[in-house]
Amino acid sequence: LAIHNNHDITFEKEMKYRSIVPIPRNAFSLQQSLELTNAYLENAYKANDHDIALVLCHDAENALSQAKNASKKDRTHPVDEKDQVLRDGIATAYIDLGKLL
């Protein structure tokens, strides 16, 4: 939800407490974060409304932050080919985000 004025802030706070959709309690894996990022970016590309595209880009940026954190946590073991593909996906997602902005 984009915040444009005090009414929106109040609305956003109220919505946090009234949500009927549960969110996962555990942090997303690198794969999940990257999939979520790509879903946001894909919808941002398709959005006809600039404001909606910006909100989706903001959400993509948040998901990318989660992906980076998951990537850092996964560095406790040697990097295999699958991990490198996911990390390359993060880089590609940042490039796509830049193109959208």
Question: In sequence order, what DSSP letters do the residues of 23-69 get, joined into one string?
Answer: --SSPPPHHHHHHHHHHHHHHHHH-SSHHHHHHHHHHHHHHHHHHHH
Q: What is the pLDDT of residues 6-17, one digit of tens each?
A: 555 555 555 556
Q: Which residue is associated with the tokens 């555990």? A: 26
Give the predicted TM-score (pTM) of the model: 0.68
Q: From the CA atom positions of the chain, what is the Rg in Å?
A: 16
Q: What is the pLDDT of residues 59-75, one digit of tens each?
A: 999 999 888 877 776 56
